[in-house]
Structure 1
Amino acid sequence: MFNKRNKFFEITLMAVLGAMLFACSPVLSYAQYSNIYTSNQSSSTTHPASNITTSSATLNGSVSVISNLYTAAWFEYGINTNLGYSTPRISYGSGYFSYNYNISGLGANTTYYFRTVTQNAYGIQYGNMDSFTTDYLNINDNDATIISPSALTAITTPANSISNNGARLNGLILNKTNDASNAWFEWGTSLNLGNITTPISTGVVPSVKHVNTITGLLPGTTYYFRAVVENSSWRNNGSILSFVTSSEKQTKIQNINANSTIKENSSNENQPTFGAAVFGAGSFFPTSILGLLILLILVLSLIILSKHLYSKFLDKKHS
């Protein structure tokens, strides 16, 4: 009876150890990651926007669906790469489809970022990021006449002399008209801005640097700003930049609204499965506390088993 129990103990322990070795092996981790990278059976691609006006644009994209599952597709867009707005979802079956959506209510002379998104039972797939800039607007013309962007231009440049309660805002004003212009900065703690500096006359100088120092700011706070120029016929807003006031630490400057098209690689934001996260992909070494505990149990079990087998060997030898 005692021998039968020992035999059962040995078989059970060997089965447990075998299962744990398999769980920690690269074979399982590779299988888990392989499933992650191949299971999202759809791809989403962002194409350049079209029909761009002062207040609207058509977003374009395409989706390729391999499986027979219905896949929903839509666009995300906004005035920075955080996006924040989305279009209605449209469902597609298997195959390759082009889709578009017209958005309106946009601001003139403003850069917008957008990307395609698809979703099915396998998860969400994001397309590459793209951007466009709406047309310029003649603010004194009720017919909203589009003007040349080179006629009167405000260029926002990074802030400097940043402290815990102030900063110097910088800009460049380009004037190719014979009409004198005024320049100022709009700034605030959100993209809505809300504050303006005192307008300064920049005359008819073709190119002039525009600076203004603002004070009374809060430490460790993000502020947004842009340069603005206006004459009797036209007005132009520069791109929005941001800075962070110091809090006895370093200060950073970030351009969140550049007037250029950007491209980013498609990304799949699916996270690794439980097993892969615990044991690591393609490695016998765990990558988490739970994995370390399992490895410790494995080592202790091996020691106990070795001791047991060695005792049996000695018993047989003496008998």
Structure 2
Amino acid sequence: MPTVAITDTEINPTYFGEGGGGWNVFAETELSPVPSLPAPEVTTDPALWIGPLSATPHGTLDSGGGIQPCDCGFEWGLTAAYGETTPTQKKETGESFSQAITGLLPNTTYHFRAFATGFGTSYGADRIFVTAINSAILATVTTDPATGRGAIAATVNGTLNQDGGEACVCGFEWGLSTEYGTVTPIESKTTGETFSQVIGGLVPGTTYHFRAFAT
């Protein structure tokens, strides 16, 4: 028996047809398209703290797109084909991110680009950095004024001005004279970072000397 279509102005056509066991009803339906979410947008920022054996690429998640937070990181290598990927970090729109890369070769050009994965993966532009020549660059450090001075304790402060290309071990020598005699616990720092230590057990009304060091 031929199939007959009955059309309503508000519904899709409905079809009637005779099957092997009687009449069957077939109704056409329309599926709404799945909305497309925007992909993230990311910028590759310049690398900082470039030494002979390490560097720190930076990036910014300009937009998380349709899914937040996004997984952000860097691809890097000797060419624009990269080949290496850093660990990722969870970031949201407007947040920056960075990742230290170590084990590099001195005086060598490296390529890197930021990426963000949310609803799809997006990449920033390719950038390069050139590692420093592996010469004997000495670390430089500044002894900053002490703070939080009390009767029996004080906080000594310092700034690592230049790490010489690698993280430095930083601390303080202190004592009753410029011969010092006592060393504080140490901290690992890189160029531009400050450090401090609380010295306790002091004698009230007594002058003490101190100086910062970096190795």
Q: Which TM-score tier does this pair reach, normalised by the shorter chain?
A: 0.3 to 0.5
TM-score by length of 1: 0.33
| Higher strand content, 1 or 2 | 2
| Higher helix content, 1 or 2 | 1
TM-score by length of 2: 0.47
